[in-house]
Amino acid sequence: MNVIKAQDYAHMSTLASDLIIEEIEKSAYFKLGLATGSSPVGLYKELIEAYKKGTLSFENVTSFNLDEYVGLKSDDPNSYHYFMQQHLFNHVNIQKHKTFIPNGMANDLQEECRRYEALIEEEKGIDLQILGIGENGHIGFNEPSTPFTEKTHVVSLDESTREANARFFNSKENVPTQAITVGIHTIMKSKKILLLISGESKKEAYERLMDPHISTYFPASILHEHPDCTVIVDTETVMG
């Protein structure tokens, strides 16, 4: 695990965007794994800027998002479909039919998980997976105690995750109780992983991650076993 200490959120976002642009440029066909939430918003702004300046094209990019809430329509402002349109897709030349996000409105959620996993398999996996981390160490929505062998599956969100995400909804009661998430097995098969850590609430998660002990009780700890994982930490908020 390669840990890069950025001065602040803006610096973390620039370093992350430089790394991603370099990878996209190297490849004729690039499969990018995307995350939502506060951590990658600055990174997405940087990618949009690079596209506008003409230094980045998404023409050859296919994207797979990590997760989506169960029960939110794609035009719901709290859905991750909506988040991605707002924060990235509407502003760059990515081809919409090459952007994939689990369908949290599917009638048969198990079938939707199988379909989504098969799509990733057909593409022979993710080239670079962007991750954030939950206060409880979740990656994607793989909450503590999730087996490392899981592929895309339906999860019941931890109460702590619903509380942390209540800031986007009017109240915690409105935060869905379930989500579809890409599993840890699939995340670990990505060729490269880029984990962004920012915010005072992530201090403890960062400290636990720096302990090389691997346990399902702290899902992100498995990243120690990944051969090419970079962590960029915003030291101003996480270590300040």
Q: Which tokens in the block code for residue 202?
A: 């992530």
Say how many residues make up the chain. 240
Please tell me whether residue 134 binds ligand F6R under the rule CB under 6 A: yes
Which residue in the set 17, 39, 99, 230 belongs to the binding site for ligand F6R (CB under 6 A)? 39
By CB under 6 A, residue 33 contacts ligand F6R: no
Contact 173, 209 (CB under 8 A): no
Question: Coil, helix or strand for 17?
Answer: helix
Q: Is 65 a catalytic residue?
A: no
Tell me how far, at minimum, the Cβ of 26 lies from ligand F6R, in Å: 25
From the CB of 127, what's the least distance to ligand F6R, in Å?
Answer: 18
Beta strand 192-197 with 229-234 is parallel
| Interface residue with ligand F6R, options 15, 35, 70, 233 (CB under 6 A) | 35
Q: Which stretch binds ligand F6R (CB under 6 A): 55-63, 114-122, 126-134, 205-213?
A: 126-134
The CB density around residue 65, as the number of other CB atoms within 10 Å, is 24
Which residues, listed in sequence order, are joined to residue 179 by a DSSP beta bridge?
69, 155
> Where in 52-91 is the site for ligand F6R (CB under 6 A)?
66-67
Check residue 13 for interaction with ligand F6R (CB under 6 A).
no
Q: Looking at 193-239, list the stretches that DSSP marks H as alpha helix, in order from N- to C-terminal side.
A: 203-210, 235-238
Binding site for ligand F6R (CB under 6 A): 35-39, 66-67, 132-134, 138-141, 199
